[in-house]
Amino acid sequence: MFRLLSKKLRRWQILSSKDQTQTKPDRSPVYLSKNLEGNLQILREVLGQSSDVIIREMKISSDSNVDAAVIYIDGMVDRNLLNRDILQPLMFNLQLIKDHIRQNHSSLIDFIKSSVLTVGQITGTEDIDRVISDVLKGHTAILVEGVNQTLLIDAKGWETRGIEQTTNEVSIRGPKDSFTETLRTNTTLLRRKIRDPRLTFQSLQIGERSKTDVAVVYIKGITPDSLIEEINQRLKRIDADAVLDSSYIEQFIEDNPISLFPTIGYTERPDVTAAKILEGRAAILVDGSPMALTMPFLFIEGFQNPEDYYAHPFFASLIRWVRLLGFILSIYLPGVFVSLKAFHPELFPTPLLVSVAGAREGLPFPVVLEALLMLMLFEVLREAGLRMPRSLGQAVSIVGALVIGQAAVSAGLVGAPMVIVIAATAIASFLVVPFADIGALLRLLMTIVAGFLGLFGMIIVQLEILSYLAGLRSLGVPYLSPVAPLNIRGLKDTFLRAPLWAMDSRPASLNSPDMRRQSPDQMPQVPKTESNQGGNQ
């Protein structure tokens, strides 16, 4: 029977894959001609009749026969800059240009570039596709009659959100700035944290239609070259319509096509990104997304928090254990409770069993159903609270608290112990944010399995998950490292957080070519001077 099923599945997969074999149309580049009118014609055709495309034609010489055109997209260029440094010089230097044309017409474009325009970044090109893409990026193009070249001026300027406080990854002591939607702002934030000349932003464009700028960030000599190569290969393979957020990239370059656990991390914090890059990871910044992707992402990173490194090591270690415990609770607690109640009541301590049995009296549904009901109710409330317009949010929380907390119990739908279990689970599930989504899925799975098979089933599923995790890789790095495969030196930043002076090498599992992070003997010591004999003031 299984063979039949597997055959069917395989055929279905092959069939579905056949539809996707269209290839990218291959076009040879089109070049500009010397005819301004012709060039404009082509551009008009391509850019269409969009109202935001501005083609400003003008005469730039007192000889009326030298025409020129400036092309830009309204709203994407800095108008002040455009007027003051592009249009004004072009149109006020009529005599100068006329004089130049008399001497040498062909180098007119170079002359404008070198002597007329007072802006920073100017490039010349003959490729009409390049012109179009750059104009769409926010550049301003200048075309001149009789010249088969165009000048592309970077005078981008549009409304952006400023750098604001972190909203998702809050820390008490650390820096409070977060990434914004603008790629350049984000790269600046990173550059300001790491002033190493070897910090590299390697840019490329992804998206057939969106043409989104994507930057791979790494430090040469710390991030292994093989990792960069692998990332580039995966990025180049992407042939998507649009990349609207960094999560689009994430889904295209993950190791495991339908991974349950995230194998690529994300963060909105520049300090976290910088720290990960300095550990030998690479980051990807995507224009339009305030989240940086970091990779490889290991399981243990889910339990690390920027605050860990700013707080005292002992406290950070304690909190890390709390997070581990919370994660375990959030996945297993309802399942364990259900299986104890439905299959193994002997495992309850006797007084607890008596009170649980008391609460169970007269309830209409089996325990599994009760647990699933409450879990779903919680997910519904969570989702509603998240998506509701902010002004309505309070209504949800009031109703939720009443429904989940009091009414369900007094109405005799669910037992009070179940409410406590689900509430504890719900709160625990928010401790480890990267795994909150998968945690919700696993929790449901565990509860269902517990309802059918008890602890026995939960153990089977757990083994399955563990073997799955052990086989998972993030850009070639085993997902469970440094725990499995075990690396004793790498454990400094897993279950305990060692003091910063003790973490003198980069994580070994990341294979950084430069393992040395700092000099190893930096433990703070009491200075051995005579004046310090008392030990304290």
Partner 1 sequence: MKREPCFRIYLAIILVIILVCLSGCWDSEELNKISIVSGLGWDLDPDTGEVTLTYQSIIPSEIKSTSGMDGGGEQKGGSALRAIQLDQDTGASPYDVLNRFTQHGSRIPFYQHTQVYVFGKDGAQKGIYGFLDTQARNPVSRPNALIVVSEKKASDILGIQDGMENIQAFGMAAEIKLSAQFSKYPAVTRLDFQQRILSKTTAPIAPIVGIAEEISSQGEKVKRLRVMGTAVFKEDRMIGQLNERESSGLLWTINKIKKGFVIIPEASLEIVRAKGEIVPELQGDQIIITIEIDEESNLVEYTGHQDLTSDILQELEKGQAKEIESQVMAAVEKSFALDADVFGFGEAVHRKYKKEWKDLQSRWDEIYPNIEVVVKAKTHLNEIGDVRKALLKD
Taking CB under 8 A as the rule, does residue 228 contact partner 1?
Answer: no
**Count of Cβ atoms closer than 10 Å to residue 374 Cβ:** 24
Provide the 10 A C-beta neighbour count for residue 29. 9
Do 253 and 282 meet the contact criterion of CB atoms below 8 Å apart? no
Nearer to partner 1, 5 or 523 (CB): 5
Residues contacting 304, CB < 8 A, separation 6+: 320, 493
Q: Does 475 bind partner 1 (CB under 8 A)?
A: no
Instruction: State the number of binding residues for partner 1 (CB under 8 A).
Output: 40
Cβ 419 to partner 1 shortest distance, Å: 15
368-407 residues near partner 1, rule: CB under 8 A: 368
Choose, by CB under 8 A, the member of 341, 492, 497, 506 that binds partner 1: 341
Which of 60-68, 135-143, 204-212, 358-366 is the region at the interface with partner 1 (rule: CB under 8 A)? 358-366
Query: Given the complex with partner 1, which of 48 and 351 has the nearer CB atom?
Result: 351
Full DSSP string of 512-527: -S--B-S-S-------
- Residue closer to partner 1, measured from CB, 137 or 473: 473
Task: State yes or no: residue 487 binds partner 1 (CB under 8 A).
Answer: no
Q: Could you tell me if 353 and 432 are in contact, meaning their C-beta atoms sit under 8 angstroms apart? A: no
Q: CA 412 to CA 85: how far, in whole Å?
A: 75
Of the candidates 299, 286, 260, the one whose C-alpha atom is nearest the C-alpha of residue 443 is 260
356 is an interface residue for partner 1 by CB under 8 A: yes
Separation between Cα atoms, residue 338 and residue 500, nearest integer Å: 43
Site for partner 1 in 422-461 (CB under 8 A): 448-449, 451-454, 457, 461
358 binds partner 1 (CB under 8 A): yes
Cα dihedral 173, 310, 178, 432, rounded to 10, equals -110
Q: Which of residues 7-26 bind partner 1 (CB under 8 A)?
A: 9-10, 13, 17
Task: Name the residue nearer to partner 1 (CB basis): 203 or 355.
Answer: 355
Q: What is the dihedral of CA 341, 343, 347, 351, to 10 degrees?
A: 40
Q: Check: CB of residue 288 under 8 Å from CB of residue 244.
A: yes
Footprint of partner 1 on 44-83 (CB under 8 A): none
Decide: is 233 part of the binding site for partner 1 (CB under 8 A): no
Candidate residues 165, 350, 391, 537; the one interacting with partner 1 per rule CB under 8 A: 350
DSSP-derived 3-state class of residue 241 = coil
Distance of alpha carbon 123 from alpha carbon 488, whole angstroms: 53
Q: Which residue, 161 or 236, has its beta carbon nearer to partner 1?
A: 236
List residues bridging with 233 in a β-sheet.
none
Nearest to 378 by CA among 397, 356, 352: 397
- In whole angstroms, the minimum distance from the beta carbon of 364 to partner 1 comes to 10
Task: Please tell me whether residue 534 binds partner 1 under the rule CB under 8 A.
Answer: no
Interacting residues toward partner 1 by CB under 8 A:
2, 5-6, 9-10, 13, 17, 256-258, 341-343, 345-346, 350-351, 353-363, 366-368, 448-449, 451-454, 457, 461, 464
